[in-house]
């Protein structure tokens, strides 16, 4: 019975990693749709989000069933409860990539991101993708050092987010209110995606060490 139990625990862990790959692909495609005005790719992100939501529900239900059937001991219970939190974070990352794809679609065939903000948005996207790649590795290997690297990358994301506001608030910036609104929302979506990546990393540290790492101090207007 314990072997079946650990098989199912491993299977749920594998599904969390699969989920991470899906939300990584969503971010990559959403960024591509946004920066290269690709309507088909934007719509792909939208249709793929259904699969992310379905996998989230599947993981939640399987985790619940394992809790019901196995009445696990404290350590395994901690892992399963943490799985539920990680699952929610990942699903939310999928939603945020979806929001980015929706902005791309809304402005198509125009590009939502003007040339002067392209670099900062592109860098935010790169940080997000680097973080989510590490999230998959952390979930797979429970590498605590890598989990801390995800937190450090979040500082880069925050710095880029502040830079975005600085650029938007340059007195000579003249792209208008609609673009300012789009970019404010996009900045927020990238930043929140990164926050959830950090949250997953912190939860894995918690599973491995039994202690939540101290939270980073929030910075800036949206901290």
Q: Does 33 bind its own copies (CB under 8 A)?
A: no
User: Which residues between 45 and 74 bind its own copies (CB under 8 A)?
Assistant: 64, 67-68, 71, 74
103 is a site residue for its own copies (CB under 8 A): yes
Angle at the Cα of 109 (from 104 to 115), degrees rounded to 5? 70
Nearer to its own copies, 101 or 128 (CB): 101
C-beta of 159 vs 185, nearer to its own copies: 185
**Three-state DSSP class for 132?**
helix
Residue among 32 and 102 whose Cβ is closer to its own copies: 102
Residue 88 binds to its own copies (criterion: CB under 8 A): yes
> In a 10 Å sphere around its CB, with 0-12 CB exposed, 13-18 middle and 19+ buried, how is residue 172 labelled?
exposed
Q: How far apart are CA 18 and CA 136, in angstroms?
A: 8
Exactly one of 35, 84, 207, 208 binds its own copies (CB under 8 A); that residue is: 84
- What are the residues whose beta carbons fall under 8 Å from the beta carbon of 23, sequence distance 6 or more? 52, 90, 91, 93, 94, 97, 132
Q: CB 100 → its own copies: shortest distance, Å?
A: 11
Nearer to its own copies, 145 or 169 (CB): 169
């Amino acid at each position: 019975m314990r072997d079946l139990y650990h098989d199912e625990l491993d299977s749920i862990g594998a599904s969390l990693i699969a989920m991470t790959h899906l939300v990584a692909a969503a971010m990559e495609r959403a960024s591509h749709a946004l920066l290269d005005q690709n309507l088909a790719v934007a719509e792909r992100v939208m249709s793929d989000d259904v699969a992310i939501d379905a996998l989230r529900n599947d993981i939640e239900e399987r985790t619940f069933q394992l809790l019901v059937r196995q009445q696990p001991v404290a350590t395994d219970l901690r892992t399963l409860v943490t799985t539920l939190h990680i699952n929610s974070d990942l699903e939310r990352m999928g939603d945020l990539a979806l929001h980015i794809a929706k902005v791309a679609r809304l402005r198509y065939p125009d590009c939502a991101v003007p040339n002067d903000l392209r670099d900062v948005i592109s860098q935010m996207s790169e940080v997000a993708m680097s973080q989510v790649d590490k999230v998959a590795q952390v979930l797979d290997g429970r590498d605590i050092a890598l989990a801390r690297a995800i937190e450090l990358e979040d500082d880069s994301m925050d710095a880029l987010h502040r830079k975005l506001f600085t650029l938007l608030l340059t007195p000579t910036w003249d792209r208008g209110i609609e673009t300012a609104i789009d970019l404010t929302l996009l900045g927020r979506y990238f930043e929140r995606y990164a926050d959830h990546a950090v949250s997953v990393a912190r939860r894995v540290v918690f599973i491995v060490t039994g202690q939540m790492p101290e939270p980073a101090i929030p910075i800036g207007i949206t901290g």
